[in-house]
Amino acid sequence: MYNPAGSALEDGTAVLQPVLDVRNLTVTYRTDKGPLDIVRNVSLQVAPGEIYGLVGESGSGKTTLARAVVRYLAANGSLTADTLKLGDTDLLTLSRAEMRKVWGSRITMVHQDPGAAVNPSIPVGEQIAEVARVHLHLSPGEARKKALEMLGLVRMPDPESVARRYAHQLSGGMLQRVLIATAMATNPELMIMDEPTTALDVTTEAVILDLLNELMTDYNTAILYITHNLGVVARICSRIGVMYAGEIMEEGPVKKVFRSRLHPYTRGLLGSVPRVDASKKDVHLKAITGQIPRPEELPEGCIFSPRCELAEGDCLIARPPLVQADGDHYTACRRWQELLHLKEKEQHEGPVRGAYDSAKGPLVLEAREIKKHFRSSGGLSSLFSRESGPIKAVDDMSVRLRGGFTMGIVGESGCGKTTFARCLAGLEEATSGEIALEGVTLPYSVNRRKQSDLKKIQMVFQNPDASLNPQHQAGVSVARPLILLGGMNRSEVRSRVRELFRAVNLPEDYIYRLPHELSGGEKQRVAIARAFAADPILMLCDEPISALDVSVQASLINLLAELQEKNETAYLFISHDLAAVRHISDWIAVVYLGRLWEVGSADDVFVPPYHPYTEALLSAIPVPDPEVSQEQIRLRGSVPSAVNIPSGCRFHTRCPRKIGPICEEKEPPWQESGFHHKICCHIPLPRLKEMQGKGCFFNSSAEGEEC
Amino acid sequence: MAKDNRGNSKPSSPFSFLKKLRRYPATAIGFIIVFLFILIAIIGPSIAPYPYTEQKLSERLAPPSEEHIFGTDQYGRDIFSRILVGSRDVLLVAGSGTAMAVMLGLLLGLFSGYRGGLLDEIVMRLMDVILSIPPLLLAMVILFSLGPSRLNVIIVVGFLYIPMVARVVRSVVLDLKTRQFVEAARMRGEKSGYILFREIFPNVLPHLAVEASMRFSYAIFLVASLGFLGLGVQPPSPDWGLMVGEARTWFHQARWILLFPAGAIALLVVGVGFMSDGLRRMLLPGGVSDV
């Protein structure tokens, strides 16, 4: 009955034998609390040349499943399955020694962190050659040739020199390509990729995804692609399995699943992703409430029922099986037929707040020509190192922001956006420039700022684990700013802390919890409460949601938007996630190599004409909709070093629209494009607009989906 | 909102501590050994069958028997009694020395790590100077000039181990001070004292506990070595190292007079070592960098 891959090919031409055939796989771990089934009754098939996307929140068992499939479990794990076949080989009957021959030759893996997966003391070419020697039994000479061939295959510029380099001499994107080359060297039947692009920049990610797409047309390798990013799935996968708490909730061809969404969990995931083509003015993100249940506390009925809005009597009693809904589309929801007709009430809940064209708030922040140059080294060691120039992390950035508005700052990692925020916060001392808050100039260092100034700027940090003191109760963290900056007495502090916990939707008894008793999202809520405790007029949000799951991200974005509306706080929202920035921001600033290149309202920045760099960023975003096609503009290489900044226009080394020597020689001028919309480029704006045409996103089907 | 708390660990209780101990038998053994020695140090002198200085020349070098379970030494003193009484000396001297090193090392490490800059550079280079001299050699030089006494041994142990403690504390502080909860504290205008002692110090404690237990086992060894060389406590005190030193001459006639004090030292050092390993596993599950 379950045979999706066999009949999966929509053209129906060939019934192929699946490369990977898993039926009723259950993975059990022996733990202190007794045996726990981490993955239960999972069946899946992957056809040759197919990319199968496995998605779900963290803790849903994706990685465990992938490891079980290759029988590579920790010592306390065991698996049972009716079928576990790789082609014709029954993996269940293989001995450990036989499995070892399968690993690395017929099944290969690409991991999330390319830096950790490459041996730092062996040249990368040698590492690929080693695989060729061991598994393909090539001579050393042939293996070396094979390594170069593979590096060429993954579009590595200058394979010969790259092959001789070590891991630390390559960027993250290049390393990931090396790993793909290693994994492809044996022409495996199955390649398992576990979040291969999660640690990379959007622009680099786009290049890797393109590469995978290209490789798949030439090779017959099947890929099991694990990710939490629905946009990535939409871009490269042909089939998708949505996993939740160890079971598959919905499975089918990507287009069908994204279109009809026959499981409330899939709906929840898709509803919580901010979109590049909609902002907080249009939609309210729909977060999934609650969290994945722990494996020892699974609910009786449908495992999703505690978080499901549609759960009713029968859902709570028996666990529904995965049923065939429509050909090769399967769902584990009892009520899928109703879902087919249920109106999408996901994102569209009407305008949440008035737009930026509502009455202008007072000018809160005016940062003029901020520069931050780091000396490359300090202390005694600088005596021995040769003189090199300063690292120009932030090199002349100016920003103005009014109360109640959000300015989003976007750019690749290493572009200086975080350093800029830290300069405003006073955590780094700016080298030059002027930071004025409500017209009052602030000292550079936080240590020299007056209490009344400190009160006005607060910050929410990226890493929830590091932002709370592990030894302090959550309430203490929130109370300190009240005592120090609010000058309140004990009873006032106590009632205000309770208010703040309510405001960030945390139960009051969380006040007495230690951070390790909180989840990532809850920690971040406490951090937000702490920042708001000072009642600031400017809030610096440094990637506050990047480390969290999509469903949690959505609820935090909503919370931030809600608090902003209530308190009229100005936000500086830093993120590499353009969709999130677009969603929450009224204004957007695009940063590259320590400088701004485009500033404008969120609506203007996302439609042509835009700066070529903005254009490249936009076209790289994976949009969680398989029906949307994007223009393919890819940046070459990685961000240049901030020590030797390119001459003229700093972007010329990677610019896809470079017009000539003028770009290398002269700094480009600012051009006004409309209402406070400025672009810094040599290309005249009308010309730019002409080149960019309709913009980055267009819908391949007829429905309106342009921006 | 969120009703369910994934990834929460339950508040720790004494039972969870015992449970952990059961998982690691070596750790449990270590704790038991250390506990027994401390017990002996407290009640040892009152349960010793003979006064530790009582000489019975008629029974000198008697092998272990019912009357003298560890035998007697060259003056006919009961070795068992001497070991019982001597345990107090070892624990006291090594313990106070360690405590001194931990206290001074902690202060140096905290300030030097937090302040950074020139102060840090000077303090750490001074520490390197101390570390670059072999400890036993340095101890001998100091004790020769100060004269051998219990107090001086404590001072030597304390002085020698300051650099190790200071370096560990400093590295933890360096990591902690860039954490965002410290930056958040700076952004609300906390004074340095609050940041150092309320934000940073509690997170240094687990590391400090592990380091202290390790230093303690080294200190026992150092105290014994100094006793053996005759630089520590002077005869007739029942110092274990001293006993081993004195036994050298008689060893070929009566092995037990060397065996038992040496065995006591070894057992205590191994016990503290196991305990220290266990502390590391319990307090720093993620390794040194994890706070």
Query: What is residue A485's DSSP assignment?
Result: H
Q: How far is A356 from chain B (nearest CA, A)?
A: 29
Pick from A182, A31, A46: which is nearest to A103 by CA? A182
Residue A541 with chain B: CB contacts under 8 Å:
none
Chain B, nearest residue to A288 by Cα: B2
Radius of gyration of chain A (CA): 26
Per-residue model confidence as pLDDT tens digits over A206-234: 988 998 988 888 888 899 999 988 999 99
Residue A463 with chain B: CB contacts under 8 Å:
180
Segment A446-469 shows an average pLDDT of 91
- Dist. CA B80–CA B257, nearest whole Å: 10
Query: For A20-34, A283-297, B105-119, which range has the lowest pLDDT when averaged over its residues?
Result: A283-297
- Dist. CA A362–CA A405, nearest whole Å: 10
Type of residue at B50: Y
Segment B240-264 shows an average pLDDT of 84
Q: What is the DSSP string of chain B?
A: -----TT--PPP-HHHHHHHHHH-HHHHHHHHHHHHHHHHHHHHHHH-SS-TT---GGGTTPPS-SSSTT-B-TT--BHHHHHHHHHHHHHHHHHHHHHHHHHHHHHHHHHHHHH-HHHHHHHHHHHHHHHHS-HHHHHHHHHHHH-S-HHHHHHHHHHHHHHHHHHHHHHHHHHHHTSHHHHHHHHTT--HHHIIIIIIHHHHHHHHHHHHHHHHHHHHHHHHHHHHTT-SSPTTS--HHHHHHHHGGGTTT-THHHHHHHHHHHHHHHHHHHHHHHHHHHH-TT-TT--
- pTM here is 0.84
Q: Where are the beta strands (DSSP E) in A276-430?
A: 323-326, 329-331, 363-374, 391-402, 406-410
Distance from chain centroid for Cα B169: 17
Chain A, nearest residue to B175 by Cα: A466
- Cβ under 8 Å to A: B residues 109-138: 121
- Cβ under 8 Å to A: B residues 159-188: 179-181, 183-188
Answer whether B66 touches A (CB < 8 Å).
no
Token pair belonging to A49: 């040349």
Task: Compare CB distances from B121 to A380, A447, A534 and report the shortest one's residue.
Answer: A380
Distinct helix (H) and strand (E) counts, chain A: 25, 27
Domains of chain B, CATH where assigned: 24-283 (1.10.3720.10)
Per-residue model confidence as pLDDT tens digits over A521-531: 899 999 999 99
Tell me what pLDDT residue B127 has: 94
Most confident of A10-24, A344-358, B96-110: B96-110
Per-residue model confidence as pLDDT tens digits over A604-649: 888 888 899 999 998 888 888 888 878 788 887 777 878 888 888 9
- Dist. CA B60–CA B55, nearest whole Å: 8
Backbone angles phi, psi at A363, to 5 degrees: -70, 120
Tell me what pLDDT residue A308 has: 87
Chain A, nearest residue to B206 by Cα: A471
Q: How far is A375 from chain B (nearest CA, A)?
A: 14
Tell me what pLDDT residue A355 has: 45
Pick from A251, A285, A142: which is nearest to A583 by CA? A285
First-to-last CA distance in chain A?
Answer: 43
Which of the four pLDDT bands, split at 50, 70 and 90, describes residue B86?
confident
| Cβ contact, residue pair A519, B5, below 8 Å | yes
| Cβ contact, residue pair A461, B202, below 8 Å | no
pLDDT higher than threshold 50 for residue B71: yes
Pick from A437, A559, A454, A456: which is nearest to A505 by CA? A559
Type of residue at A77: G
Q: How far is A427 from chain B (nearest CA, A)?
A: 7
Token pair belonging to A13: 């031409």
ipTM of the complex, rounded to two decimals = 0.82
| Cβ contact, residue pair A466, B180, below 8 Å | yes
| Cβ contact, residue pair B4, A291, below 8 Å | yes
Tell me what pLDDT residue A703 has: 39
pLDDT higher than threshold 90 for residue A350: no
Residue of higher predicted confidence among A14 and A627:
A627
- Dist. CA B120–CA A262, nearest whole Å: 62
Per-residue model confidence as pLDDT tens digits over B136-166: 899 989 888 988 888 999 999 999 999 999 9
- Dist. CA B189–CA A453, nearest whole Å: 10
Q: How far is B190 from chain A (nearest CA, A)?
A: 8
User: Burial code of A631-650, b = ≥16 C-beta within 10 A, e = fewer?
Assistant: eebebeebbbebeebeebbb
Chain B, nearest residue to A473 by Cα: B199
| Cβ contact, residue pair B180, A447, below 8 Å | no
Token pair belonging to A525: 């809520």
- Dist. CA A75–CA A246, nearest whole Å: 19
Tell me what pLDDT residue A346 has: 46
The answer to whether the beta carbons of residues B113 and B120 sit under 8 Å apart is yes
Domains of chain A, CATH where assigned: 20-237 (3.40.50.300), 257-341 (no CATH), 364-588 (3.40.50.300), 606-699 (no CATH)
Per-residue model confidence as pLDDT tens digits over B236-247: 778 888 888 888
Answer whether A519 touches B (CB < 8 Å).
yes
Tell me what pLDDT residue A673 has: 83
3-state secondary structure of A185: coil
Residue A519 with chain B: CB contacts under 8 Å:
2, 5-8
Answer whether A476 touches B (CB < 8 Å).
no
pLDDT higher than threshold 70 for residue A503: yes
Burial of A344 (0-12, 13-18, 19+ CB in 10 A): exposed
Per-residue model confidence as pLDDT tens digits over A364-403: 999 999 999 987 655 555 555 555 678 888 988 999 999 8
Answer whether B290 touches A (CB < 8 Å).
no
Share the mean pLDDT of chain A.
86
